[in-house]
Structure 1
Amino acid sequence: MQFVPFDQLALKWGLPSDQHTWSGESKFTDVNYTLEYRAGEGNQSARIVWAPVSCYQPELTAIIIPFRNRFANLSVFLHHMHPLLRHQRRRYTIFLIEQVKPEVFNRAALFNIGFREASKVANYLLPEDDRMIYGCEKEPLHMTAHIDRHNYSTPYKTIFGGGVAMHPIQFKKARGFPNTYYGWGGEDDDMSQRLTLSKQNILRRNSTVARYKDMKHDMEPGNDYNPTSVLKQEENIGEAYGVKLGD
């Protein structure tokens, strides 16, 4: 994997690297330009890197995308997120983690792989408002708490699905996501419980700013719903899987 030179990135995307304005519309034409893959162990990873040149941003934001087959959604997401993140003056890296095998999707395991890849670089919902800052807080942040599909309300108190923001210390303290959830759902509720057991609180921003549109997609054949009974409730959360404190 290689970093994309900022001047080439700005030239390719058609936007100046010191852009200060936000039009709400992207000018991108080729979302595959910066995707450089590394394959191994049934997964492929890629990263997209950008940093502002007109100011110093000490915080590096890693955006981890578990992915398989939804190229149309990925295209819309990247077209939307690049100008938003650049407008916020973020120094960011997008990690695209694609599952090649097995057939049943494991979103949680891809998050853990993405975390490991992001840790080597530094010690598909769309935001409707660019005041929704993409950075970490003192507590784990549930970013997509208010989406149009739920009428911009929070379905239940412990929900932690969709987009979340966590500092590496917070992620390690919760021991990462469980690797045991194959199929649809469950891993986000498990992570919510892990945060509770590790004495961390879930933070949500005001619904005036933290508003998201849900990109429609069909459920993949073979990705059955996970029953809630498989939630791991033991005190030694993540001992056998996920991310260890020493990682």
Structure 2
Amino acid sequence: GASKLTFKASLTLEEVQKENPQVAKGRYHPTECSALQHVAILIPHRNREKHLLYLLEHLHPFLQRQQLDYGIYVIHQAGSTKFNRAKLLNVGYLEALKEANWDCFIFIFHDVDLVPDNDFNFYMCDRQPKHLVVGRNNTGYRLRYQGYFGGVTALTRDQFSKVNGFSNNYWGWGGEDDDLRIR
């Protein structure tokens, strides 16, 4: 069910790693059961270290409670040019494919500032692309607008390939997720 999220002011990467000793290089394989699904989490990132640490601190136990075999890929954009979330996610997708055989598995495209707070929000495959953040606590758990498909979305490899990934033409924040939904 729902949980109240708390964030430590002085959280470090070492603390996140210490809290998750069974995670190696962003990968986790359940040992007590057969994984329900295999999931690649792709997180675009630039200049938001605290958000990333908070997300990782909560995301690892969240995914483990769902008995998922997963890999987390943080794709960092360096420099001072405008942020290109779409390009980072496309690169992350290709890099994840090099590391593991994600053929029948799910890809979750995850903003760094959206921390899941309900275990009933299953990070799993579906027949259709799936929007995993229908609302946020700061919006009263309502969509920002009708048809909103941003923040955290899940697609299979086949679904992502059929739409040819995200368009790299969106610089700054916004637009790429709606473009993907329309296609």
CA-CA distance at 1:69 after TM superposition? 1.1
Identity percentage of aligned residues: 38
Taking the aligned partners of 2:61 and 2:4, their CA distance within structure 1 comes to 9
SS of the equivalent of 2:160 reads: helix
Q: Contact 2:38/2:70 (CA < 8 Å) preserved in 1? A: yes
Work out whether 1:92 is the aligned partner of 2:70. Answer: yes
Q: Which runs of 5+ in 2 are unaligned?
A: 19-24, 104-112
Contact 1:98 1:110 in 2 (8 A): yes
Higher Rg: 1
Q: Structure 1 length normalisation: TM-score?
A: 0.59
Which of 155, 166, 172 is the aligned partner of 1:166? 155
2:92 to 114, 118, 126: 114
Q: Tell me what 1:52 maps to.
A: 30
CA RMSD of aligned residues (A): 2.5
TM-score (normalised: structure 2): 0.79
The amino acid across from 2:63 in the alignment is L
Shift of 1:71: 0.4
Q: Which digits, 9 at most, give the CA deviation of each residue in 1:160-194, with x for residues without a partner?
A: 11000111111111111001111121111111111
Report how far residue 111 of structure 1 moved.
Answer: 0.7
Whole-Å Cα distance in 2 between the matches of residues 88 and 25 of structure 1?
20
Give the helix-richer structure, 1 or 2: 2
2: CA distance, partners of 1:148 / 1:186: 22
- Residue 73 of structure 1 deviates from its aligned partner by 0.4
> 44, 48, 69: which is aligned to 1:70?
48
- 1:142 maps to a residue whose letter is H
Q: Residues of 2 paired with 1:79 and 1:176: CA distance?
A: 28
Post-superposition shift, 1:152?
Answer: 1.2
- The range that moved more, 173-182 or 98-107, is 98-107
Moved over 6 A (4+): 22-26
Q: How many correspondences in the alignment?
A: 161
Mapping of residues 1-247 of structure 1, within 5 Å: 30=14, 33=17, 48-57=26-35, 59-101=37-79, 103-120=81-98, 121-122=100-101, 123=103, 124-194=113-183
